[in-house]
Structure 1
Amino acid sequence: MVPLAFVTNIESRSYYQINNNIAIASDVLISGGRGEYVNTPFENVGNLTNNRSQCSQNASSKDAIWTSGGKGHLSLYILHPFVGESIIPSTKIMDLFVTKKPSVYGSIPASSVYISGSITVPQGCELSSGSTLEIPFGEFKATDFKDRKGQVAKNATKFTKELQFKCTNISDGVKIFLRIEGMPNANDSNAIDMGNPDIGAIIEGANGKILVPNDASVNQELSVSGLVDDTHRTASTTISAYPISTTGKLPAAGDFEGIATMRIDVGVSRMKNLHALMPACLLLTASAMAAPSNIGSAGDIHFTITIKAATCELENDSIDVNMETVVLQRPVKVGKELNQKNFSIGLKDCAYATKASVTMDGSPDPTDPSLFALDSGGATGVALKIKTSGGEQQYPSSTDSTPVEHTVWFDGTNKLNYIASYVPVKPDATVGTANATVNFSVTYE
């Protein structure tokens, strides 16, 4: 045997590697009185005969042929399951030396054996709908991921997809499994990386278990149909996918994407022997191993998601300000602020926002449109004034749509502080219920 890397012994035969997928064992016929095939490598194996018959072409019998060393068997062993074509380059696998005196051999072999060729495995499954399955998660606020490490994003829904595959050369009784490969998120290996360290994509099988990327032990069995034609079957299963927070932190804003590859494994394969009469009277035998094997990619899953910059959230959607009872003193002083009451618009989770702009929408007072009108049926000649704690007046948006700007800080809760007061706008103002409804909106930068 020429210097090839030893792989293993199986049934007293030594296998040597000839490419990444295949190893080879060889037997040589020793005729004469021995009359058997001997596994290589060997040394000093005699033919157990004392004449030249079946050993030399110069034998006394005209019917004698060269048989010792003239025939053999090759056996191929599949080292790694593969799909497609595996090339065997021209490779010397054996040098045969002969001698009349044991242990005394020349440097020139009597014969050499080479092997070359290819083995083709035309087997696989592909996604019926095309090579890529698109799953758009949609648009989320960064705050949808905050404090939700390992959990689905707030307001997210699971995307459930039924997968149909077209499979080629799958035998009866073969089980087919789907598993996932792809780059895992650095902070959560259960999730596919989305190009943002704080978010990832989770894929679940039909049984609800997570298909962990690059873990061959976690898979989903497919339902396999009968033969559609001579070589094809269909296979199907259902998967679900959803975005999660991998850190609990606010993720950066932007458009992100991730790719997962669907791999198909077969759980059973058949033993097949390929016999061919080779030059130099060698019999080639190839055996496929009965073991789970990967038969290639069935397509990709492409995830997309958009994260909006984390602006602030209101602590309360509605704010009640109790103005209490106001005493109108006579004579009424028009323009005087009465019963000043402090209130705040509370903001939280203001990551990436540095400015909040507030507009207020309410009916302007007909006498002084810079103020907000009170509800009808109560006090008259009185209006509501709103200003910031710094003294900047907030006008009804229909009077002046210019918003009032506030600086916000992203490291905690922000309070936009205001003062509300009643203001007489007529000298003949009357007492009564003094309610007003003002709607406010906040935008962020």
Structure 2
Amino acid sequence: MNMNFSQKLEARCDPSSSSYNYTNRAYVTNEPIVEKIGDYQYIRINEYLLGAMQINDSAIGTFHPPARINMGMHPNVSTGGSFPVNDSNLRFLLKVVKPFVGSVSIPSKTMFTVYVTTNPTDPLSYPVYTISYTGRIIAPQSCSIDSGTVLDIKFGDILASEFNQAGAGNKPASIDPQTRSVSVQCSNMNAAATLTFRIESEKSQGDMLVSNNDDVGFKISDLNGKTLIPNNLSSFSEFLLNQNQNATISFKAWPVSITGNKPALGPFNSRAYIRIDFP
């Protein structure tokens, strides 16, 4: 993915008694480098993707951040006047490290913060600009789960005392797990392909989804009783597509105590998502 940096940026350094007019530029990331391929340095974007960047500068040519680079000179550097910062032709590489089905959203996040100094040992105090990314990657293989239908599971009234009697991580004695099934329709897949499903949620603790009542949550398992840990790539259950690229996946859900404390009275709810992946 190539991008042209068309916005005009200028920087200014404190005036100096010397006539030294060269600058140093630091491209800093808070993420660790997880892989290097040639000069490209990849950082993790999410569980599916790594990203790396190449930048072409008008003074020194091509380099690959994160890096601290000695740049060209400009007569305004030592006088305190403004001078241009001319990065151009930014190339952003994505590497798929885990195959995915459908699409993957990339939330907006800063990849590099850029500082300009006159000496490579100067502290990095004032960022000049940032390089950020956001987007969505769409794979040709896709699956729909009951056409996006919301599956509402109700457990009725439960005595608050049953939750603290059950203890943290356990269900009230009067409640049985409920089983639900959803249909899956896939496209551009091999017939009889093996896929996996796992659980994602907005708020979780260990193997439990946390509800809008912090003392109460839910657990979800496959039909074999294997608890599916929310937001955990390694916690999944497999299923098989038929010749028409269809399948039915089933799971169990039940309420549990999160803390072992007696919860406040009132309704409680939580929301979970089913994520389909390649194994």
TM range (shorter): 0.5 to 0.7
Amino acid at match of 1:122: P
CA distance, structure 2, for counterparts of residue 155 and residue 119 of structure 1: 45
Evaluate the alpha carbon distance shift between residue 156 and residue 179 of structure 1 in structure 2; reply closer, same or farther with a 3 A threshold.
same
| Corresponding residue for residue 237 of structure 2 | 220
CA distance, structure 2, for counterparts of residue 86 and residue 179 of structure 1: 17
| Corresponding residue for residue 194 of structure 2 | 175
Structure 2 runs not aligned, ≥5 long: 1-24, 55-61, 64-92, 107-135
Secondary structure at the residue paired with 1:176? strand
TM-score (norm 1): 0.35
Q: Which has the larger radius of gyration?
A: 1
Contact 2:171 2:254 in 1 (8 A): yes
Evaluate the alpha carbon distance shift between residue 127 and residue 120 of structure 1 in structure 2; reply closer, same or farther with a 3 A threshold.
closer
Amino acid at match of 2:224: N
Contact 1:200 1:243 in 2 (8 A): yes
CA distance, structure 1, for counterparts of residue 175 and residue 191 of structure 2: 41
Deviations 1:181-206 (A, max 9, x none): 11445xx5221111112211110112
TM-score (norm 2): 0.53
Q: Identify which of 176, 184, 190 aligns with 1:157.
A: 176
| Corresponding residue for residue 245 of structure 1 | 257
| Corresponding residue for residue 200 of structure 1 | 217
- CA RMSD in angstroms, aligned pairs only: 3.7
Q: Identify which of 152, 164, 173 aligns with 1:146.
A: 164
Note the C-alpha offset of 1:262.
1.0
Evaluate the alpha carbon distance shift between residue 126 and residue 85 of structure 1 in structure 2; reply closer, same or farther with a 3 A threshold.
closer
Note the C-alpha offset of 1:247.
2.7
Deviations 1:127-168 (A, max 9, x none): 126332111111112122232112211311211012211112
Evaluate the alpha carbon distance shift between residue 127 and residue 173 of structure 1 in structure 2; reply closer, same or farther with a 3 A threshold.
closer
Secondary structure at the residue paired with 1:132? coil
Contact 1:18 1:24 in 2 (8 A): no
CA distance, structure 1, for counterparts of residue 209 and residue 95 of structure 2: 32
Contact 2:163 2:261 in 1 (8 A): yes
| Corresponding residue for residue 254 of structure 1 | 266
Structure 1 runs not aligned, ≥5 long: 26-39, 42-75, 88-117, 268-445
Note the C-alpha offset of 1:171.
2.6
Count of residue correspondences: 178
Q: Identify which of 128, 132, 156 aligns with 2:146.
A: 128
Query: Aligned ranges for residues 103-122 of structure 1 at < 5 Å?
Result: 120-122=138-140
Note the C-alpha offset of 1:14.
4.9
Note the C-alpha offset of 1:219.
0.5
Evaluate the alpha carbon distance shift between residue 19 and residue 241 of structure 1 in structure 2; reply closer, same or farther with a 3 A threshold.
closer
Evaluate the alpha carbon distance shift between residue 144 and residue 132 of structure 1 in structure 2; reply closer, same or farther with a 3 A threshold.
same
